[in-house]
Amino acid sequence: MSGTLSFTAVTSGGVAYDVEFPLHPLTRSTEGVSDLLTSLLETISRHVEMHRELSDGDILQALCLALAVRARMVGATPESARELVVEIFDTAHRAACAAIPYEAGRA
């Protein structure tokens, strides 16, 4: 199963991005990917509120460290895991960069 994951991200400053993420052809659960992405971003936001000294670079570094550990845990060769991570990241990054920012509505 594969396809596209439509995802809206809203920054703490009220800027929103509607991102159309192309999913890897071997994606098993679009809903599971969406739920995990939402949970990860919510966890990061809560953590940043408690530790305001964290920089954006600190956050990216922690995410990269977690990704490296997780890639090592999948049981594939380090080279094939790295190739998959790079492929998925490049695709996701292109999709995120293509999203046009807009002011999120306030209720």
The DSSP result for 30-65, as a single string, is HHHHHHHHHHHHHHHHHHHHH-TT--HHHHHHHHHH
Per the structure, the complete domain to which residue 58 belongs is given by: 4-103
pLDDT value of position 12: 86
- Give tens-digit pLDDT for 43-101: 999 999 999 899 999 999 999 999 999 999 998 999 999 999 999 999 999 999 999 99
Q: How many domains does the chain have?
A: 1
Instruction: Using alpha carbons, select from 91, 72, 99, 73 the residue that is nearest to residue 26.
Output: 91
Phi, psi of 57, rounded to the nearest 5 degrees? -65, -40
DSSP assignment letter at 67:
H
